[in-house]
Amino acid sequence: MMAFDVDLFVIGGGSGGVRAARMAAATGAKVALAEDSRLGGTCVIRGCVPKKLMVFASAFREMPTEARAYGWDIPDGSFDWPAFRAKLHAELDRLEAVYRRLLDGSGVRIYDARARLSDAHTVTLSSGETVSARHILVATGGRPERPDVPNAALGLVSDDIFTLQALPKSILIVGGGFIACEMACILAGLGVKVTQFYRGAQILRGFDDEARGLIAEAMKAQGIELHLGTNIVEMAEAAAMAEDGSTMGAGVESAVELLPHSGNRGCPVWVKATNGMECTFDSVLFATGRSPNTEGLGLDDLGVKLGRRGEIVVDSYSQTAVPSIYAIGDVTNRVNLTPVAIREGMAFVRTVFDGEPTEVDHDLIPSAVFTQPELGTVGLTEEAAREQEPIEVYCTSFRPMRTAFAGSEARVLMKLIVSQATRRVLGCHIVAPEAGEMIQLAAIAVKMGATKEDFDRTVAVHPTMAEELVTMRTPTRKA
């Protein structure tokens, strides 16, 4: 039998790769891992963690007004981005160090280098070193895309937001997915004038129509200028446009003064939209999708099959067309969520190192969109369920006690999709503050196959927003 340097070589130090490496090492396997950026990957360094901390920061903007309605004498304050940014990056450094300690403590050898597959069992590192492995796991994640627009390099992508030296006075966000909408709410909460273009008819495509409609209205109420059915046609440096004597000097609407750019990309940006609108923004942020990180890995040469978007094609056990090579996480473009990548990594270890073939369960995965208010969801949308079978819809929208008392018109939504035949709850959708926290608990019941009558038998916790999930007795509609 051929001898290998290691039993497992993991390419990628994100949440999925690190969990798989540690679990495999716990079985007694000899494990190595390569990461050419920072340990922690997208979630810890460039995604979930810094984003959620920014969500927390942005939510304080409304706190003084609400507190005064409750009798507290609290003046409006101002947001100090440099102070927050310094603390944010200190926290990311701390978390990265935790990941490194966990790997070291598990006996995983770490290579701070880029890795490429030379053959089905060999990895070549950017340092020139080669390592042979019985099994190779690709967990390289994904990266934000820039659209095919001239001068797109003038725009930021989501990775750039966390490293801005200063917040822009105004920003155009292009896109309508969860990253675009989350960033719009965050930046608006931090005092940035936000405009958002989305080429579709409504933001958050793929989520429940009623829920995303409520979020769109809430975003507009926050002052976000949302333009649907709109995209960028042209973009250029604003200063260059003015020097050329173009329409910039002829009364073009300007979102900012032409001051030195306060972000990471040169000067303010002039933009022309498909609706004829022309504006200048301090920054432009593209949130138009993500691509799997498969370029330069040598996968094509080995016979590893790639999909239309460059994703690694795997079976239900995360195995590629090359038996010794597996892949998990966003690089497979299955369900691009950190907890899913972790589950896939755990299933891989059970399959390969524990001898317990374990398929990954991608059914009924809860998720949250951290807009303001948040969207929590699990299961089928009303639209998808209606196409599948006859359903009942239980839905209520109301002004929650806390903010209503303070004079806010903000509304929340609680919605259950129920099978007429089996009475099972097929989907649950919540639009409310802390909806992510609520949907985690509701997802347990939905995953277990709870019926509407199971929800009805549960006594409400009063007074709460979530009590509406167990007090809705009459269907809003049937389909």
Q: For 234-261, what is each residue's pLDDT tens digit?
A: 999 998 765 554 544 333 344 433 333 4
Q: Which domains can be identified in the chain, with CATH numbers? A: 6-144+290-354 (3.50.50.60), 147-245+261-287 (3.50.50.60), 366-478 (3.30.390.30)
The whole-number pLDDT of residue 248 equals: 41
462 catalytic residue (yes or no) = yes
The whole-number pLDDT of residue 267 equals: 79
Q: Is 415 annotated as a binding residue?
A: no
The whole-number pLDDT of residue 171 equals: 98
Q: Is 175 annotated as a binding residue?
A: yes
The whole-number pLDDT of residue 378 equals: 98
The whole-number pLDDT of residue 1 equals: 58
The whole-number pLDDT of residue 139 equals: 98
Q: Is 76 annotated as a binding residue?
A: no
Question: Is omega for the bond preceding 147 within 30 degrees of 0, making it cis?
Answer: no
Chain CA centroid to CA 39, Å: 18
The whole-number pLDDT of residue 122 equals: 98
How far, in Å, are 17, 82, 84, 187 from residue 89 at the CA level? 22, 11, 9, 18
Mean pLDDT, the chain, rounded, equals 94
pLDDT tens per residue across span 385-423:
999 999 999 999 999 999 999 999 999 999 999 999 999
How far, in Å, are 124, 310, 388, 440 from residue 428 at the CA level? 47, 32, 16, 11
Choose the catalytic residue: 135, 227, 261, 462: 462
Low-confidence ranges of the chain (pLDDT < 50): 245, 247-263
How far, in Å, are 44, 62, 230, 231, 374 from residue 195 at the CA level? 27, 20, 11, 12, 19
The whole-number pLDDT of residue 239 equals: 80
Q: Is 41 annotated as a binding residue?
A: no
Q: Is 301 annotated as a binding residue?
A: no
pLDDT tens per residue across span 414-432:
999 999 999 999 999 999 9
The whole-number pLDDT of residue 242 equals: 53
The whole-number pLDDT of residue 266 equals: 54
